[in-house]
Amino acid sequence: MTDQELMDAAYQQALKSYNEGGLPIGSVLYSPDDDAIVARGHNERVQKGDPTAHAEVVCIRNAGRRRDWPQLTLVSTLSPCIMCTGTSLLYRIPRVLVGENQNFLGAEDLFRERGVEFILMNDPQCIALMKKFVEEKPDLWNEDIGI
């Protein structure tokens, strides 16, 4: 699968969450060995009342217990916050594909410091959906990032 196909799959997760009234942030985990998406997730903080349910955490949670983390790619529509970055670093995921960091700049420095391959795609559909949400529901968004 191409990086763009993976980002499109993450975007579909973001769109699903938006349509549920949640934060439009989506994530997938990709296994290059299998050329397959092994888990998907989207932000569920509003849907489940769980402050830890950011898209990347949910996606990693959905991937279940496994030992192949150092072969996977984490894909997220938005620059990962420090919780999601920490989760990815804990499991030594070596490659991270990010849709955009215009609406939120996460802990990208931490990824780079630790040698993770960090790819920013500046995806117009990710930027537009997140921008729309932040304008519509600024309070929900601020709660998401601890403000």
Query: Would you tell me which residues interact with its own copies (CB under 8 A)?
Result: 45, 49-53, 57, 60-61, 63-67, 69, 81-87, 89-92, 107, 143, 145-146
Residue in the structure block whose two tokens are 């980002």: 7
Catalytic residue among 5, 20, 44, 56: 56
State in angstroms the smallest separation of the CB of 78 from its own copies: 14
Catalytic: 136? no
Report the alpha-carbon distance of residue 38 to residue 125 in Å, rounded: 23
SS3 4: helix
Shorter beta-carbon distance to its own copies: residue 53 or 127: 53
Strand order in the sheet with 26-31: 36-42, 26-31, 73-78, 95-100, 117-120
State in angstroms the smallest separation of the CB of 86 from its own copies: 3
User: Beta-strand (E) ranges in 57-102?
Assistant: 73-78, 95-100
Report the alpha-carbon distance of residue 111 to residue 4 in Å, rounded: 21
State in angstroms the smallest separation of the CB of 28 from its own copies: 16
Shorter beta-carbon distance to its own copies: residue 10 or 53: 53
SS3 10: helix
Shorter beta-carbon distance to its own copies: residue 2 or 67: 67
Shorter beta-carbon distance to its own copies: residue 84 or 129: 84
Asked whether 22 and 42 are in contact (CB, 8 A), the reply is yes
State in angstroms the smallest separation of the CB of 128 from its own copies: 25
DSSP-derived secondary structure letter, 102: S
Catalytic residue positions?
56
